[in-house]
């Protein structure tokens, strides 16, 4: 009997099943392939959405005379960053916007005023805010200052709590839904005012009368807002006697008007340089003879330096020193005898008290 070749070399190898013959295995393989293809995408971390970086800012804060005890620049920066809940301020060379502010004490009405301005990198002003407080201490403005600056830097930011645990500040208008800072119109300046002072006092004169003479003075100084200051007034020197072979008395009265092209104001007072005209008369009478008195006109050019300073409220003290040049040098005589001739150059000094408004 002839043997089969397979039997000659051993047992037949078992047949390997194929996927086409087993549908269940084919379906399981397809599911495993799809799962392995989706797994990397499912296990990969989600991509972070790119958010715009917050704007950086620089802070310049100035405390003017009278506001030295107000909040300092560092404390104000800390309060603003606490409001915005992030670091905000960098050096001016790295800042996208510049915040500049100042605080000062105001006299009318009494209190404090802060002005805050925001500019971009090109120096163009984007907006400004002005804050007033009538409180006796500028510390009452700290939370308002931090809140206003924070809103001007980032109107859309979620603001944190104030720097101090205190009642909430006055509600502000909601910020606009844009990156533009809140802008408030600057208050219109009031009309310029006139300055007026009324004074009365004493004066001394040498050169227009036979000897040093004292008299009374009334003057008013007026300062228009857009022109030189000027003065008007009058002088009266009671009769003084000239002794000689014949005794005579002389009495001087005059009115004056002056223009003060140079006026400097400092330390609650003012210095003025004035030039003007004096017009009046001198009356001379010979004593003991019953003669009728003689009266001559007076016309002088005067140069004056004046100083004035407020004392309390509207009360003001003033002083003046002047040179007088008689245009008409009158000569008085009686019976061919000279009684008195005006000097070519006279001098005057005066002191006065009065009131000044405003």
Q: pLDDT (tens digit, 9 = 90+) per residue, 122-160? A: 888 888 999 988 888 888 889 989 898 888 888 876 566
**Which are the contacts of 189, defined by CB distance < 8 A and separation ≥ 6?**
none
- pLDDT-derived band at 52, boundaries 50, 70, 90: low
- C-beta separation of 228 from 259 below 8 A: yes
More confident residue, 248 or 306: 306
* Structure tokens belonging to residue 287: 């004593």
- C-beta separation of 126 from 180 below 8 A: yes
Polymer length in residues for the chain: 358
pLDDT, average across residues 49-71: 81
- pLDDT-derived band at 335, boundaries 50, 70, 90: confident
More confident residue, 24 or 325: 325
Looking at domain 195-357, its CATH class is mainly beta
Superfamily for domain range 57-153: TolB, N-terminal domain (3.40.50.10070)
* β-strands 294-310, 315-326 pairing: antiparallel
The phi and psi torsions of 239 (rounded to 5 degrees) equal -60, 135
List, for residues 266-324, the tens digit of each pLDDT value.
767 788 999 999 999 998 888 776 555 778 889 999 999 999 888 888 899 999 999 99
pLDDT, average across residues 209-234: 90
* Structure tokens belonging to residue 65: 């005379």
- DSSP class per residue in 158-209: -----SSS-SPPPPPPPPPSSSSPP--PPPPPPPP--EEEEEEEEEEEESSS
Name the residue among 109, 112, 101 with its Cα closest to residue 140: 112
* Cα 152 to Cα 173: distance, rounded to the nearest angstrom: 12
Q: Does the pTM of the predicted model rise above 0.85?
A: no
Name the residue among 145, 177, 154, 153 with its Cα closest to residue 98: 153
Residue whose tokens read 């004490």: 105
Burial of 193 (0-12, 13-18, 19+ CB in 10 A): exposed
Return contacts of 173-179, CB within 8 angstroms, 24+ apart.
Answer: 175/151, 179/55, 179/155
* Structure tokens belonging to residue 61: 């804060």
- pLDDT given for residue 86 in this prediction: 87
- pLDDT-derived band at 23, boundaries 50, 70, 90: low
pLDDT, average across residues 64-87: 90
* Cα 352 to Cα 358: distance, rounded to the nearest angstrom: 19
Half-sphere exposure (Cβ direction) of 220: Cα atoms closer than 13 Å:
9
Going from N- to C-terminal start, the domains of the chain cover 57-153, 195-357
Whether residue 183 has pLDDT greater than 80: no
User: Alpha helix (H) ranges present in 245-291?
Assistant: none
């Amino acid at each position: 009997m002839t043997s089969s070749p397979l039997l000659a070399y051993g047992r037949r190898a078992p047949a390997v099943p194929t996927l086409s013959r087993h549908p269940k295995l084919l379906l399981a393989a397809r599911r495993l392939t799809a799962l392995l293809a989706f797994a990397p995408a499912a296990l990969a971390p989600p991509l972070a959405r790119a958010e715009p970086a917050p704007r950086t800012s620089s802070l310049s804060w100035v405390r003017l005379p009278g506001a030295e005890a107000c909040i300092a620049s560092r404390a104000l920066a800390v309060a603003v960053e606490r409001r915005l809940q992030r670091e905000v301020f960098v050096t001016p060379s790295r800042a996208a916007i510049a915040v500049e502010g100042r605080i000062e004490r105001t006299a009318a009405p009494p209190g404090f005023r802060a002005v805050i301005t925001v500019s971009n990198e090109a120096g163009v002003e984007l907006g400004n805010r002005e804050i007033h407080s009538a409180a006796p201490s500028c510390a009452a403005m700290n939370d308002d200052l931090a809140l206003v600056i924070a809103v001007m830097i980032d109107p859309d930011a979620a603001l944190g709590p104030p720097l101090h645990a205190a009642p909430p500040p006055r509600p502000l208008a909601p910020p606009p839904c844009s990156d533009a800072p809140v802008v408030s119109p600057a208050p219109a300046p009031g009309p310029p005012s006139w300055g007026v002072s009324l004074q009365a006092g004493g004066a001394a004169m040498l050169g227009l009368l036979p000897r040093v003479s004292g008299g009374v003075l009334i003057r008013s100084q007026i300062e228009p807002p857009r022109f030189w200051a000027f003065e008007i007034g009058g002088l009266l020197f009671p009769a003084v006697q000239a002794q000689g072979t014949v005794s005579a008395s002389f009495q001087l009265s005059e009115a004056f008007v002056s223009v003060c092209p140079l006026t400097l104001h400092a330390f609650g007072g003012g210095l003025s340089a004035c030039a003007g005209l004096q017009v009046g008369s001198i009356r001379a009478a010979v004593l003991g003879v019953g003669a009728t008195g003689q009266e001559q006109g007076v016309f002088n050019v005067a140069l004056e330096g004046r100083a004035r300073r407020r004392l309390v409220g509207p009360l003001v003290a003033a002083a003046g020193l002047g040179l007088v040049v008689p245009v008409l040098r009158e000569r008085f005589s009686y019976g061919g005898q000279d009684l008195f001739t005006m000097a070519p150059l006279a001098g005057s000094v005066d002191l006065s008290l009065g009131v000044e408004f405003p």
